[in-house]
């Protein structure tokens, strides 16, 4: 019986030694698991950054208005949302406030669309005429006058194919189409959401 117990005890010790994971196998499992976790975190970070770039480039973006050319409609230093997706489905419309690439220095500017392809704009005596009719502008303070470029008394423009005439709401303090002419559709990035 002693011999039988000793053999059983020996078998148990051998069995326990057989089932115990080797030290190198345990460290391999931990390092593999850690590598998978790091890889998953990197993949999540890459997807998040890619989503951010996609959304801010083609869908919605936060913009800060710098300057007073759109005052009193938009305030200097305030933040607004720029809807970049809307113009993938339709063309810009008159009276919309847009962000565009300024043709004079390639910076960004915020202006209001006054006229589009095929429209004529005539500036004379403090008034804006769109296609021969006085332009009604309820978004401006009452009795606001709009003068032509300071170098001339009157100006006449016709928007060509894919062109838009834009002006700032602060008509006495805005570098706009009166100076640089109509802007092309490809330079209009999106519409301001207020």
Residues annotated as catalytic (active site), given as ranges: 69, 111
Exposed, middle or buried by CB within 10 Å (0-12, 13-18, 19+), for 132? exposed
Nearest to 171 by CA among 112, 95, 100: 112
Residues forming beta bridges with residue 97, ordered by sequence position? 112
Residues forming beta bridges with residue 62, ordered by sequence position? 81
């Amino acid at each position: 019986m002693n011999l039988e117990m000793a053999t059983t005890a020996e078998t148990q010790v051998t069995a326990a030694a057989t089932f115990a994971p080797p030290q190198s196998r345990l460290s391999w499992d931990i390092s593999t698991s850690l590598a998978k976790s790091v890889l998953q975190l990197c993949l999540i970070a890459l997807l998040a950054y890619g989503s951010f770039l996609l959304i801010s480039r083609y869908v919605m973006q936060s913009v800060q208005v710098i300057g007073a050319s759109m005052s009193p409609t938009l305030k200097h230093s305030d933040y607004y949302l720029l809807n970049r997706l809307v113009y993938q489905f339709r063309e810009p419309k008159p009276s919309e406030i847009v962000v565009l690439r300024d043709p004079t220095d390639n910076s960004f500017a915020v202006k209001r669309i006054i006229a589009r392809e095929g429209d004529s704009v005539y500036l004379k005596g403090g008034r804006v005429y769109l296609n021969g009719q006085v332009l009604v502008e309820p978004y401006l303070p009452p009795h606001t006058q709009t003068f032509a470029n300071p170098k001339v008394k009157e100006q006449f423009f016709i928007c060509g194919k894919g062109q838009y005439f834009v002006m700032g709401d602060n008509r006495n303090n805005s570098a706009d189409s009166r100076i640089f002419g109509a802007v092309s559709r490809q330079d209009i990035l999106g519409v301001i959401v207020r």
